[in-house]
Amino acid sequence: MRVKVGRGMAMVAAGVSAAGLVVGCAAGDGAGRGAVVEALNRVVAGGAVPGAQVVVGAGGSVWSAQAGVGDIERGTPFPEGARVRIGSNTKTFVATVMLQLAGEGAVELDAGVERYLPGVVWGPGIDGDRITVRNLLQHTSGLPEYAAEFGATPGPGQIAVQSAELRWMTVDMAEVVRQALTAPAEFEPGAGWAYSNTNYAIAGMVIEKITGNSLGAEITRRIIEPLGLRDTYYPDPGETGIRGPHPVGYLETDGVRVDYTEQNVSVAGAAGAMVSTGADLNRFFTALLNGELLAPAQLAEMKQTVPVPGAGESLDYGLGLMRSSLSCGKDSWGHGGDIDGFEVRGGVTDDGRAVTVTINQVPTTAEPTTRVLEVVDAALCATD
């Protein structure tokens, strides 16, 4: 499927370009909630984005704060328990399911994808026998980014620039992958690192082939239900709205903000389609790092990282999981995601602190994302 694309619209991203920033905050000096709230207010100062919400979990307690507005027209803040599109945080759910399958002996991480999807992963310089499941999960496959299928020239992590037509379209991801793989490989498998949503589109296809079930059904059965994530879900095919309380998600194009809350996220799929809340994401990442979802061997595989080019020692990528450095010397584990309408950042530290920060517009400049990461840093480095 080739789609002629007009100006504007949706994208999904991992936050790779920004997640590795080490930001200096007063929290590293022992500050607490006040520093977090102050940092949150800076995110919306000047109107760069409409609103922001932080959800912090520490020592068995959970608290949240809002800044700006969740709905410009009504002037209301983010609702409590706001459900938002989490973009590429979806990848960690997908990687967790794959690693569970590996623990069950249903898939081998170092087996070629050809074993599971015969004849699918082939193209110019692309050999499905040599590209492994591990390569997919770690973005070391060299596979081209499928955003190009929709006319995008993406930065790190972006999936697509959507036309108004594509916003409502249910895409055939197998066909999207087939078209994407007509472009040449970026490098030999394992010889480099480059974020490509194509990796997770294919990983989702592998999971569905092995289990005989939809990806959404496997994520629900294996993660959402056992953890009691009542406000988290993988959208049904063709579903366009967000269930439950949620802010308006905005898209800014040519200086004008429009309501972009409703959209068909089939184009994001395994790379970024899910909906969740800050509290549920904190619970998921905490449970994952605590070993509640994976056996020790599989969690260790997930945490085996490779450097992200250009990030120095501040950011590494494992199997659907990022390690980033904080200003107070701690490491944070998580992911991050953008999809038109929402940007989500967060992380979990070894001492049990967890945070999710959401803004209801993907920024058009780097500064708001930098401010969001300051909130993450302040919350994870705080002492109360």
Tell me what pLDDT residue 163 has.
63
CA 42 → CA 53, 67, 135, 158, distances in Å? Answer: 12, 9, 38, 25
Confidence of residue 25 (pLDDT cuts 50, 70, 90): very low
> Residue 312's pLDDT is what?
78
Contact 115, 127 (CB under 8 A): no
Find out whether 263 and 230 touch, Cβ atoms under 8 Å: no
**Rounded-to-integer distance, Cα 100 and Cα 105, Å:** 9
Instruction: With a cut of 50, say whether residue 319 has pLDDT above it.
Output: yes
User: Which residue is associated with the tokens 């949706």?
Assistant: 10
Tell me the percentage of the chain whose pLDDT exceeds 70.
88
- Is residue 88 part of the annotated active site? The answer reads yes
**179, part of any domain:** yes
In a domain? residue 41: yes
pLDDT tens readout for residues 227-255: 999 999 999 999 999 999 999 999 998 88
Backbone angles phi, psi at 41, to 5 degrees: -65, -35
Task: Please say if the pLDDT value at position 8 is more than 60.
Answer: no
Measured from the Cβ of residue 256, the count of other Cβ atoms closer than 10 Å reads 8
DSSP label at residue 257: E
Range of the domain at 124: 12-381
For the cut 80, the answer to whether the pLDDT of residue 131 exceeds it is yes
pLDDT above 90 as % of the chain: 79
Asked if pLDDT for residue 188 goes beyond 80, the answer is yes
284-314: per-residue pLDDT in tens? 999 999 999 999 999 999 999 999 998 877 8
d(CA 120, CA 202): 9
pLDDT of 191 higher than 60: yes
Domain assignment present for 210: yes
Confidence (pLDDT) at 17: 41
Q: For the chain, give the mean pLDDT.
A: 89
Task: Put residue 21 in one of left, alpha, beta given phi > 0 → left and psi -120 to 50 → alpha.
Answer: beta
pLDDT of 262? 96
Is residue 74 situated within a structural domain?
A: yes
What is the distance between the alpha carbons of residues 212 and 190, in angstroms, rounded to a whole number? Answer: 29
Domain count, the chain: 1
Catalytic residue among 17, 64, 88, 325: 88
Answer whether residue 16 is part of any domain: yes
In a domain, 39, yes or no: yes
pLDDT of residue 46: 87
Provide mean pLDDT across the span 356-380: 95
Could you tell me if residue 1 is inside a domain?
Answer: no
Interval 136-168: pLDDT, tens: 999 999 999 997 656 554 444 444 445 677 788
Residue 13: predicted pLDDT: 59
CATH number at residue 355: 3.40.710.10
In a domain, 6, yes or no: no
Residue 146 in contact with residue 197, Cβ under 8 Å? yes
pLDDT at 166: 79
